[in-house]
Copies of this chain bind each other. A is one copy, B any other.
Amino acid sequence: MIQRQVKAAVLLIGDEILSGRTQDVNLQTIAKFLAPLGVQIAEARVVPDIPAEIVAAINALRLKYDYVLTTGGIGPTHDDKTADAVAAAFGVHIGVREDARAILEAHYKGASNLNEARLRMARIPDGAKLIDNPVSKAPGFQMDNVFVMAGVPSIMRGMLEDVGPRIEGGAIVRSVTIRGRSLREGDIAAGLADLEAKADGVVSFGSYPWYAPPDSFGVHLVARSADAEALGKAQNDLLALARSRGVEGEVVEG
């Protein structure tokens, strides 16, 4: 039985990524977490802390893909605008929810430290299901097919553990990578295009040049497929392609 491909989008929310202040690492973490569950990331976007932009992106992506995973903008400060934007995108009410408040109260040891700013983190859109935060407690939430997580990488990784079991994946796409030292893309391009054409969509091939100054270079040849047998054949085909150029390719991870 051929399983269907399940596609997700990642939405990174925050001025700090667009300004270059922060190097995002969440996209890669999410992609690697979802792949073995049978979900491929088909698109990603980065938007600033502007409600209308967040709303527009959420609505565009949630209608187009099976899942949307967002990171960022759910903290206690004024520039955290994601929860309200998600509520607006779905056209539902948002307010402090008792289950979320209880989590924060327990964490902040009674209501004394739980000031108005922190209580913002208990604002959850109506109908959403909380996502556990094992690191700093303030929860994320799931609204329909949209998973709303923190931007701090360690917290985001913790939240993914609670997201995983809620995901219904499809075909698991695996990949093999052949490292060809001193191989040049232009010399294997025709052969690679032949492999792609013959694979008829069952395997997709990619070619990624690398440079290690001063004088080391080469190509990573990648094959991706949900069909294990076809992927095994593709690996051999890529090794043969490298060999046809006098290069003994090396099978590497990732």
In the complex the two chains form, is B23's CB within 8 Å of A76's CB?
A: no
A116 to B187, CA, bound (A): 10
In the complex the two chains form, is A116's CB within 8 Å of B190's CB?
A: yes
In the complex the two chains form, is A192's CB within 8 Å of B43's CB?
A: no
| Residue A152 lies at the interface, judged by CB distance under 8 Å to chain B | yes
| Residue A175 lies at the interface, judged by CB distance under 8 Å to chain B | yes
- Among B47, B115, B116, B206, which residue has its beta carbon within 8 angstroms of that of A16? B206
Interface flags for A18-29 (1: CB within 8 Å of B; 0: not) read 111111110111
User: How many copies of this kind of chain does the complex include?
Assistant: 2
| Residue A90 lies at the interface, judged by CB distance under 8 Å to chain B | no
* Interface class of chain A by DSSP: mixed
Please tell me which stretch of A34-42, A125-133, A164-172 contacts chain B, meaning at least 4 of its Cβ atoms lie within 8 angstroms of it.
Answer: A34-42
In the complex the two chains form, is B16's CB within 8 Å of A35's CB?
A: no
Q: Which residues of A contact B (CB under 8 A)?
A: 15-25, 27-32, 35, 40-49, 53, 75-79, 113, 115-118, 120, 152, 154, 175, 177, 185-190, 192-193, 196, 204-211, 213, 222, 224, 254
5 closest cross-chain pairs (CB), A and B: A20-B31, A117-B189, A78-B193, A44-B46, A118-B186
